[in-house]
Structure 1
């Protein structure tokens, strides 16, 4: 069954020009970070440094567009950075990019190399359709700290991704919840690449193709499709 993802009219009105691409993959092989996935991250960091040429990530036009989008729904982009900017800053820092697991490393590498927010979710843990909406403030967002589960709620008007059970990612692509995240046991997953003007459709598709290629190399035999959201 193909996962349905929709974007609400409220979001499209607030942030015109938003586009996305879905990479859906089944039959994946995940596990701890290894030499292959680490190499993807190292190469992504090199490409990022070359692209920025001494500038900070927020000076990139695409990251600047995301900062403006965050401001539009009331977030403070210097405090809660979009995922692409946050990763880029880590890539440029002394500690470098974190190694999470093979699949997360693959999509983080594409995010850094292309300066585009990329998220990944375990398909088996998604409940119903996925929607990008402006929150009412009542939607549950489950977090876990020190082994203890806690339920938070987004701020009214905040842009969030959610399924039928609750919020899966707060502030658009800032903080993913643990319920649906990809871990070592993940077999089926989807990856969402999110773009704003001035990123072109060709640039978005190139990033998606690169991710599909990386997934195919890390998981030979996986069934991978690249498509637009519904």
Structure 2
């Protein structure tokens, strides 16, 4: 499968940096407890110094949401929502080991991290503007149609696997106890985004390789027109 950004996204957000990890041998009792605790502790420590809204990583996403015509404090990127919850509740929810790990990494780096069950993604995945015909499976059970022009993660069958870019993922490709292979996507827009998504990718790759015994396939997309294809990138690859 290929992961890419549309020409609109390439032009509108040229400073975007993305890390991709494709991993197999996922199971529901994956032991990443220590790693999750360590990442969460790092996020908690940072929150003792300042609130998430002033983090440079979050500020960059707020500017992007404003540029898309969205109110940033109404539609928060995933990392801001997680940090806000951690600050208020003192903990992050536990859902599935892989989700817990990605959420903790997202909070530690203040960078949105999406994880998709690849068995429920049809063909390629593209971050693009919606035409309004796509289908989004909400966790409530409802089927929604994204707004025309809204940034979504769309597959070849018109399924929207995320709405408002890094705001909300779909139930359709959510990781569950039946998930065996997954695609992890970390995106950042701030000045040091390339450095940070690289570090996040390396840390997640190390944690997962120790937990599942297999090194994830990884890539960095550091130029606006860079994409990723599982047929072309083997092991560790840097694009851009």
Cα pair 2:60 2:189 within 8 Å, conserved = yes
Counterparts of 2:133 and 2:103, CA distance in 1 = 30
Superposed displacement of residue 54, structure 1? 2.8
- Which residue of structure 2 lines up, in the alignment, with residue 111 of structure 1? 106
Question: What secondary structure, in the 3-state scheme, does the structure 1 residue paired with 2:103 have?
Answer: helix
Answer yes or no: is 1:121 the counterpart of 2:82.
no
For residues 49 and 143 of structure 1, the distance between their equivalents in structure 2, rounded to whole angstroms, comes to: 29
Instruction: Tell me the equivalent position of 2:219.
Output: 227
Question: 2:41 aligns to what?
Answer: 46
Structure 1 counterpart of 2:196: 203
User: Would you say 1:16 and 2:11 are equivalent positions?
Assistant: no
Which of 62, 72, 75 is 1:80 aligned to? Answer: 75
Deviation at 1:202, TM superposition (A): 2.3
CA deviation vs aligned residue, 1:96-144 (integer Å, no higher than 9, x gap): 1000111111111111111110010111111010000011222111224
Distance 1:29 1:217 in 2: 14
Return the offset for 1:90: 1.4
Q: 2:60, 2:190 within 8 Å by CA — same for their partners in 1? A: yes
For the residues of structure 2 that align with 1:144 and 1:160, how far apart are their CA atoms?
Answer: 16
SS in 2 for 1:93: helix
Quote the RMSD (CA, aligned, Å): 1.7
Q: Please list every run of 5 or more consecutive structure 2 residues that lacks an aligned counterpart in the other structure.
A: 221-226, 229-240
- TM-score when scaled to structure 1? 0.89
Alignment deviations for residues 27-74 of structure 1 (CA, whole Å, 9 cap, x no partner): 22233xx8x534333322321233344311010011000011111112
Question: Are the counterparts in 1 of residues 57 and 110 from structure 2 also a CA contact under 8 Å?
Answer: yes
When structure 1 is superposed on structure 2, of 62-71 and 11-20 the one drifting more is: 11-20
Unaligned runs of 5+ in 1: none
1:213 to 191, 206, 211: 206
TM-score in terms of structure 2 length: 0.86
Tell me, yes or no, if the aligned pair for 1:41 and 1:97 is still in contact at 8 Å: no
Q: How far apart are residue 223 of structure 1 and its match? A: 4.3
